[in-house]
Structure 1
Amino acid sequence: MTAPTPPTPPFRDPHLPFAKRVDDLLSRLTLEERIGALHQFTPAVERLGIAAFRTGQEALHGVAWMGPATVFPQAVGLGATWNPELVRRVGEAVSRETRAMRARDERVGLNVWAPTVNLLRHPLWGRNEEGYSEDPRLTSAIATAYTRGLRGDHPVYWRTAPVLKHWLAHNNETARDTASSSVRPRVLHEYDLRAFRGAVEAGAVAGVMPAYNLVNGRPNHVSPYLREQLRTWTGEELLVCSDAGAPSNLVDSEHYFDTHEEAVAASLRAGVDSFTDHGTDSSVIVGRLREALRRGLLTEAEIDEAVRRQLSVRFRLGEFDPDTDPYGGGGNGGDPGVPRAEGGADEHAFDTPEHRALAQEAAEQAVVLLKNDGLLPLAPAHTRVAVVGLLADECKLDWYSGTLIHRSTPLEGLYERFGAERVEFTEGVDRVLVKTSAGTFLHVPPAPDAPGTARGAEGALDPALLAGRTDLAPLTAGPEGTELALVDWGGGVLTLRAPDGRYLSVAEDGYLRASADQPGGWVVQETFRLEPHGGGHLLRHLGTGLPVQVAADGVKVAPGDPPASEGAATGRDAVAGAGPEVFELIVTEHGEEAVARAAARADVVVVVAGNDPHINGRETEDRTTLRLPAQQELLLRAARAANPSTVLVLVSSYPYAVDPTDLPAVLWTAHGGQAAGTALARVLAGDVSPAGRLPQTWYAGDADLPGLLDYDVIGSRQTYLYFGGTPLFPFGHGLSYASFAYGELTARAGERGVRVSFTVTNTGAVAADEVVQLYTRAVDPSVPRPLRELAAHRRLTLAPGETADVAFELPLSVFAFWDVAVDRWRVEPGRYELLAGASSTDVRQRATVTLDGEPAVPRAVLEHGLDAARFDGQSGTEIVDRTRESGDAVTPVAGREGELVFRTCDFGSGAREVTVEVSGGGTVELSLDDGPVLAGLSPSSPTPGPYDYVTLGAPLVSPGDPAVVTGVHEVRLRLRGALRLARVGFSG
């Protein structure tokens, strides 16, 4: 007799709602299995037939770290397109390739960690390439589009599950795991939270990743905003994945908790659901969670809540419905009425002609024409072009790129479009021989597979090279030297390259080899610095920090002191490796001279300058200046002196401060992925009219920049929203080969918002895109408001003479600001300007509307007191954590002196006494308006710790009326010492 078939467990039933299925599966997991699920690498549960699961697959502008994939422009380049629909298609292509790659390699994850929505507040941020814009609305629009593409269009199942990075107010690599961003409430709500909120509310986001930094003195991995803000924006279960190593940082570098058990428990309670720590070894985190539970720091219910969120994502990805998952090659999602989603896990949905064309389209749309005095476009049939510069024949990848399948450099694009016979190339680097103190020269042995040993097919980067190769012979010193290309990336950082294109690199064994295709890796092993010493130079390897030595078995890096004097390490001693070598550089060709010769022979010179995404500005390293590296400035001047018809093309991850005065044309593009060169050549030739727009302000110099760690965009007048100076190029700037006329703007205010309409006409001779930008401005605000603020935008394609009607419906929330007096959004009554044009400063049409709004109400300080962090103005203070779990307090910077200002405080029938809630030690002095000090309060002795608060009281002594303070006043609080102020109260 055949045994009966066991019933299908409810969690396997595709007809049940996900919530019931999650509950059923959760009830079947043992406590140990549930705890195990909280690490990034969740083990399989074989008894239930459940596979292992991994959170995290990098997919910022293509599938990263998993081998060959379509590489799209960097995120900042996608932001420069100002085209959400294009970015949605890019996200869709990336998610299709993710599914296709997973079908062949189970290591490829479907929980993708992308996009990065941190705002590009400061252009020296090393990870500038990862964000979309300095503007929260543009960032939100682009991020929402990308996540929609990643998610897919099926109403039930998701193609991939995107996680937004990095929550919250993260815009510095300097001390990134210990620095605290002081973010006042207005900046928090109007700026930083806004970038995340739109994508979450659109329903296309599976979760977020907290950032390494602290906000208001509290690490983001225990941020109360996860609960108080993020989880209130949607009814979906959101998965919060920690950043790599961040749970351990809570104890090891931040010293925020005494034990790791306290740290993981606090993180879980705050909302972290998946711990990315200790790589694939889950035992450490699991052990900490197990012990935290044993000690009563956690409850099983809190563990279940986190596991439920992770399971919710896995169900949405179709993991438990292989027969009905539309993206896994299955059916229609289990519902005959639901159409089957396009683009299941077809292994051929990878490197398709459509994806190649999309990569080129995105690269073309990302090109920004910054200046053009009529030199562009060029005529390919009649122009001899000299293309010069360090990036002229490069297609650079960044840390979050996939491996190139196809490769197009500016030189290759110009060869293709203009013809090789009309294009001359000069890189413009110095060629040098490196001479030892013994009179020998550094020699690069030929590689067995040279030339091009480091490249795979189609220029693909071999991932193994990121760790350094040891299978090649190391450099030696001998009578025959190898001429090396010395590339100066600025700040004294150099790379050295062999004639066949291989970069000198240092592997784990410490030997120098010409083994790398490009600089790269988490720790770059291809960068060096020359340090003057003893009439020559030491050559210091930056990856290890060690000097280069010449030993009998080859050239290597090793610890050692520099020679005491010139000639102290020469001859036999040097060969034996007695100490660091003192080298002499013999320049065989100066790069600027080669550039000048090529420029003089050409009709037009294209200077391609910019950065290598792994050097002088990247994850873990902020830039130190906006200036173009000195060697590249030298090449630019040499080209311009030899040929006035010089085009500067900046290919970079971030803005530069360059002087465009004597340059007839300047363009910028982010590193544009696999089709970058083709796209650039087509723009230069006029096949495509450029229509990229700057997604962030380009400042004229370092003096215009705020402090890197100053996050108060309002108080220190940051970004185009508040910057009152003259930028080099403004936010939203970008020129075209066509011209556009804007018709009269009409604005009509209604109960729900404002309708704005106008026309745009292509008055030029070529078809082109125009990026229409609409800004708002409060005419007479009662508090500092943006000088102009992006409200809406649209990218239009218009034929010559074509007119488009443009209309925007702006909800009243567009005009609101966060009113700290009432701790919520408020639309202020009054007049507002609507500004339409081609950039934040190129306004073509304007109109004014009057909104009724909501009148301001003075702070009722007798009833509600004052929260210290809800100030109207401040100087010399920073916001810190009131407790480890929640709340804010204010302290003077570095324990010195600061001031808080609270405007329109209504004392009603009268106040006789003031109380302050403080910790630490110091003094709080209170005055009204510009009057004298009315009260001073100090703890008799410092409190035991920063979270041990005491309440102090004192009478208000007023010269006019010593008994009572009445009416509406401005309250000023002066803080001195190592003191934290949480609240101020008043009583009659």
Structure 2
Amino acid sequence: MKRVLSLFLMSVLIGAASFTLKQEEKYKYPFQNPELSIDARVNDLVSRLTLEEKVAQMLNAAPAIDRLGIPSYDWWNEVLHGVARTPYKVTVYPQAIGMAATFDTISLKQMADFSALEGRAIYNKAIEEGKSGQRYVGLTYWTPNINIFRDPRWGRGQETYGEDPFLTAMLGRAFVRGLQGDDPKYLKAAACAKHYAVHSGPEPERHVFNATPSNYDLWDTYLPAFEELVVNADVAGVMCAYNAFRGEPCCGSDVLMNDILRNQWQFTGYVTSDCWAIDDFFKNHKTHPDAASASADAVMHGTDLDCGTDAYKALVQAVKNGQITERQIDVSVKRLFTIRFRLGMFDPAAMVAYAQTPSSVLESAPHQAHSLKMARQSMVLLKNDKNTLPLRKNLKKIAVVGPNADNPIAVLGNYNGLPSEIVTALEGIREKVGPNTEVVYERASTFTKDTLLVYSDISKRLSIDGKPGVKAEYFDNKELKGQPIATRQEAGISNAWQEGETVVGNMKAYDFTARYTTDYTADKDGTITFEVEGDDGYRFFVDGKQQLDAWSRNRWGAKTYKLPTEKGKTYRLMVEYLQDGGKASIAMRAGNLARTDFKALANRVKDADAIVFVGGISPQLEGEEMKVDEPGFEGGDRTTIMLPQVQTDLMKVLKATGKPVVFVMMTGSAIATPWESENIPAIVNAWYAGQSAGTAIADVLFGDYNPAGRLPVTFYKSDKDLPPFSDYSMEGRTYRYFNGQPLYSFGHGLSYTTFKYDQLAVPATAKANSPITVRVRVTNTGKMDGEEVVQLYTSREVAGYKTPIRALKGFQRISLKKGESKVVTFQLRPQDMTVIAEDGTAKHLSGNVQISVGGSQPDAKTKKSKKTVEGTVALQ
């Protein structure tokens, strides 16, 4: 029997050895074998690379290594609110700040899951089409932006989840888990927490700014969301910021990168620099003499990838100089390849479920439905006096007025993709009321001026070389050098491409130039105004003389030139266009500038049953490092939080008609509207709500959707409420430390129904370092089904310690039918009850903690109306 068993075991071992040999014979190198661990495969692969090959893999555009069968890969991709900048049509959800207004982690996780699916479909499609090494088709997304929106003047605050560390952390965690998936082996996509860690403007100073917050503010405000994503959400990547932190560039910070991220939080994922941030070491911060020293220092601080520049190429020389060892470089290269292996990039598609995602998921019905759902959820009803809203659908006439009423650019926000269809507010209202209601539209003004260009159709007056239209020449360089790679006749100048999309032939929409030439024959004596608008730079010439100069990488928007004309005379027009990364668009229009007579406009709409003014601001004005020539805006930021005066002036005239005026405000940040909040009966904050913005706005205005969005930022009354923009102290900032009276509080949002809170259950005592369960009953006491955002705040005073006025520590979005009650349960974590000491350490201290639960922050009015309830727990 023993002999039989021994023979059996020997045969098993021989069979296993034979299987292993067959597996090894199947693959030329061990790193190709999916049966091995990822660590073993990465170690094998990196061991086969030369120093030069390793360094090249540390650039965002990592080249192919043909001798080992490693394909090229560009790490740079974005998925802020849907896959961004891709050449394919995708689903576009509300801007991040709008999604934060939903206060719904479930919806946000679903959005991230759907976006990851679309990203997989794009990646798979790019492989099929031989585009896998291009930018914006990869699976490594540099999202979410979890910086704290500490100051409403910051133009990129629209990309964040608002001003509160807890809300940001919970929404960021949901996003990461949705995007990265739950497969035990493979990532669906790789998320990246940015911009680590103290970064929120001003935009014009971001490459030189030195942030010096206290340890208290660092750990109380700026770090909690990053800690949550790194420690609890297992985010794959982190992006370090442009600015310096306490005198060291963030990507080379001892405190942020080595002490906290790698040592305290034990982060093992990859770190990318923000794009061009390594160059800032020696060009702007002046902390390093050259690229070699800057690159070596960044890598030794754990920055694995250099985005946007080729500074890291100097690492080869840095190794030769003894500034860094090749072994230290190996650490970074292994981290980078680990992510690519975890994404299944080196395994057969049959082994990776995500690799089989079909193109049919792009803009699929469930995705579009979810975009509309989140747009509806994001709407915040700020004010609704005398039940002005909802409007009746059987109105005879409705006037839709304002610069955002029919603006498809605004609803998409920034860092966006392009959908097949965009619904503006005007279109949504027209669709909602149907053919029996007259809808009149007046743009009335720009965002900041009452003078508009009234466009004329000049297409029949444009020709070149005897052919109608415009001669378009395209160059595959940024200098208009050499012969154009393509020349063609176009009807006019009106082009828009996503970055990387095909422009003509094999030329992609990235780092190219174009020249458009045509002859314009005037049809009368007088003047005509030409408007040129481009993304990025352009120049405009008339008869060889330059009249407009916006030749810059920054986003310049539109400029105008008034041309005196003689009837029958021909003028040679030429537009030169520069695309320098990012979006690509160029357009030339013509017409005559005219100042809008507001009183005459009001007279035209005074017989309307209701007037909807759709204004606010736009990503055309606020965003990332932009050049904007408009009052109140600078470099992408705002110099004032006041609503532009021209819009207030117009609403004053509209209100004077005596008809109900509804203000629909689009914005990515808090706007001060003191006159409107006092005088306009109904105000809806609509953010930049994505492709279905107009439908969602109309649903709210006419009562087909009961709004329940909440403000993720404080809306202050005026600029006087704000500390200096460049001050990173949290004193006087956000609802947690602002002692004044805001216009609208963080967490504010009205409904068409009413809710009552009672039966709050809070333990009388609890251990200071243990979880606490809180329960409350919520009842819909109104006449309409609706949703409520139940918010839990804590407040405490501890002698010798600084504490917030109050802090959000729990929230749930629930749905209640009229008359229905639900018991909502919160589980407070031990860290939710800690106090931050001056040195930044978290303390579990005894003492009383006040707990408030309601549909908003607590105040005397909400307590009296039973919209909030309070209790106290004694920590021991």
Shorter-chain TM-score tier? 0.7 to 0.9
Q: Which residue of 2 aligns with 1:655?
A: 670
2:380 counterpart of 1:365: no
User: Which residue is 2:732 aligned to?
Assistant: 717
Distance 1:367 1:40, change over 3 A: same
Q: Is contact 1:444-1:474 (8 Å) kept?
A: no
Do the aligned partners of 1:250 and 1:256 also contact (CA within 8 Å) in 2? yes
Structure 1 partner of 2:609: 603
**Aligned residue among 572, 580, 603 for 1:553:** 572
Say whether 1:87 aligns with 2:93.
no
Secondary structure, in 3 states, of the residue corresponding to 1:58? coil
1:840 equivalent in alignment to 2:861? no
User: Does 2:96 match 1:71?
Assistant: no
Gaps of 5+ in 2: 1-21, 127-131, 463-468, 470-489, 544-549, 578-590, 627-634
Q: Is the 8 A contact 2:540 2:573 kept in 1?
A: no
Does 1:243 find its partner at 2:274?
Answer: yes
Task: Report matched runs for 1:769-780 at 5 Å.
Answer: 769-780=787-798
Tell me what 2:421 maps to: 406
Residue in structure 2 matched with residue 692 of structure 1 by the alignment: 709
Q: Which residue does 1:678 correspond to in 2? A: 695
Cα deviations across residues 335-386 of structure 1 (Å, max 9, x unaligned)?
A: xxxxxxxxx4212111101111111111111110000011001111235311
Specify the code of the residue in structure 1 equivalent to 2:670.
P
Q: Is the 8 A contact 2:240 2:273 kept in 1?
A: yes
CA distance in 2, matches of 1:526, 1:471: 18
Partner of 1:313: 339
The amino acid across from 2:67 in the alignment is R
Tell me the CA shift for residue 82 of structure 1. Answer: 0.6
Instruction: Give 1:784 shift.
Output: 2.4
Aligned to 1:304: 330
What SS does structure 1 have at the residue aligned with 2:224?
helix
Q: 2-side partners of 1:591 and 1:521: how far apart?
A: 35
**1:326 aligns to what?**
352
Give 1:599 deviation, angstroms.
3.2
Q: Secondary structure at the match of 1:231?
A: helix
2:804 matched residue in structure 1: 786
The 5 Å alignment of 1:312-711 reads 312-329=338-355, 344-373=356-385, 374-382=387-395, 384-396=397-409, 397-420=412-435, 421-429=437-445, 448=469, 453-454=494-495, 470-471=515-516, 473=518, 479-480=524-525, 508-511=538-541, 523-528=554-559, 553-554=572-573, 588=594, 590=596, 592-593=598-599, 595-620=601-626, 621=635, 622-659=637-674, 660-711=677-728
1:171-229 CA distance string (max 9 Å, x none): 10131110111111011111111121112223341111111111122111102212222
Is the CA contact 1:426–1:598 (under 8 Å) kept in the aligned structure 2? no
Contact preservation (8 Å) 2:198, 2:222: yes
SS of the aligned residue for 2:174 comes to: helix
Task: Tell me: CA distance 1:645–1:656, structure 2 relative to 1, closer, same or farther (3 Å).
Answer: same
Q: Structure 1 residue 114 and structure 2 residue 143: aligned?
A: yes
Structure 2 CA distance for aligned equivalents of residues 505 and 351 of structure 1: 25
> SS where residue 405 of structure 1 aligns?
coil
- Structure 1 counterpart of 2:430, which letter? Y
Q: Which amino acid aligns with 1:32?
A: E
Q: Would the alpha carbon gap of residues 799 and 523 (structure 1) be closer, same or farther in structure 2, given more than 3 Å must change?
A: same
User: What CA deviation, in whole Å up to 9, does each residue of 1:830-869 have, x standing for no partner?
Assistant: 11100111122445100011112xxxxxxxxxxxxxxxxx
Cα distance change, pair 272–617 in 1 and its aligned pair in 2 (3 A): closer
The alignment status of 1:54 with 2:74, answered yes or no, reads yes
Give distance in 2, aligned partners of 1:636 and 1:538. Answer: 33
Measured in 1, the distance between the counterparts of 2:563 and 2:729 equals 43
1:385, 1:424 within 8 Å by CA — same for their partners in 2?
yes
Amino acid corresponding to residue 52 of structure 1 in structure 2: S
User: Structure 1 length normalisation: TM-score?
Assistant: 0.72
SS at match of 2:648: helix
Give yes or no for the alignment of 1:190 onto 2:217. no
Distance 1:375 1:103 in 2: 50
Residues 267-308 of structure 1 deviation map (CA, whole Å, 9 limit, x = unaligned)? 000110011133xxx5x532x101110011001111011011
CA distance in 2, matches of 1:605, 1:483: 33
Q: Which amino acid aligns with 1:126?
A: G
Evaluate the alpha carbon distance shift between residue 799 and residue 509 of structure 1 in structure 2; reply closer, same or farther with a 3 A threshold. same
Q: CA deviation at 1:812?
A: 2.4
Partner of 1:213: 243
Which residue of structure 2 aligns with residue 269 of structure 1? 300
Deviations 1:317-352 (A, max 9, x none): 0012124543444xxxxxxxxxxxxxx421211110
Name the structure 1 match of 2:259: 228
Q: Flag the 1:152–1:442 CA change in 2: closer, same or farther, 3 A.
A: closer
- Structure whose residues are more often helix by fraction: 2
Give the direction of change, closer, same or farther, for the CA distance of 1:799–1:442 in structure 2 (3 Å limit).
Answer: closer
- Does the C-alpha gap of structure 1 residues 451 and 658 become closer, same or farther in structure 2, counting only changes over 3 Å? farther
Is 1:294 paired with 2:315? no
The one-letter code of the counterpart of 1:722 is Y
In structure 1, the partner of 2:204 is 174
8 Å Cα contact 1:475/1:512 also seen in 2: no
| 1:208 aligned partner, one-letter code | V
Distance in 2 of aligned mates of 1:135 and 1:657: 19
Work out whether 1:768 is the aligned partner of 2:786.
yes
* Closer/same/farther in 2, CA of residues 642 and 456 from structure 1, 3 Å limit: farther
Give the conservation status (yes or no) of the 8 Å contact 2:162–2:713.
yes
How far is 1:553 from its partner? 3.2
- Offset from partner CA, 1:101-140 (integer Å, 9 cap, x none): 1122222011111111111100000111111110011011
User: For residues 753 and 469 of structure 1, do their structure 2 counterparts lie closer, same or farther at Cα, with a shift above 3 Å needed?
Assistant: same
Distance in 2, matches of 1:129 and 1:461, equals 29
Change (3 A) 1:849 1:465: same
Give the whole-Å Cα distance in 2 for the aligned partners of 1:5 and 1:634: 78
For 1:576, the equivalent position in structure 2 comes to none
**Alignment root-mean-square deviation, CA:** 3.3
Note the C-alpha offset of 1:591.
5.0
Q: CA deviation at 1:523?
A: 2.2
Q: Is the 8 A contact 2:790 2:855 kept in 1?
A: yes
Q: Is the 8 A contact 1:385 1:602 kept in 2?
A: yes
Q: 2:870 is aligned with what amino acid?
A: R
Q: Which residue identity does 1:687 align to in structure 2?
A: D
Which residue in 1 is equivalent to 2:34?
14
Partner amino acid for 1:76? Answer: I
User: Structure 1's 213 and 477: CA in aligned 2 closer, same or farther, altered over 3 A?
Assistant: farther
Distance 1:139 1:692 in 2: 16
Cα separation, 1, equivalents of 2:416 and 2:653: 33
How many angstroms does 1:476 deviate by? 7.6
> Structure 1 residues 475 and 746 mapped into 2: Cα distance closer, same or farther (>3 Å)?
farther
Q: Which stretch of structure 1 is more off in the superposition, 828-837 or 262-271? A: 828-837
Pair 1:7–1:617, CA change in 2 (3 A):
closer
Task: Return the alpha-carbon distance in structure 2 between the equivalents of residues 471 and 126 of structure 1.
Answer: 33
In 1: Cα distance, 2:542 partner to 2:761 partner: 67
Structure index of larger Rg: 1
Q: Which amino acid aligns with 2:298?
A: S
Q: Distance in 1 between matches of 2:117 and 2:273?
A: 25
Q: Name the aligned partner's letter for residue 307 of structure 1.
A: V
Shift of 1:557: 11
CA contact (8 A) 1:443 1:477 kept: no
CA contact (8 A) 1:506 1:512 kept: no
Structure 1 distance, partners of 2:645, 2:819, is: 45
Say if 2:515 and 2:576, in contact at 8 Å, map to a contact too. no
Matching residue of 1:42: 62
Shift of 1:475: 6.7
Bigger mean CA offset, 443-452 vs 667-676: 443-452
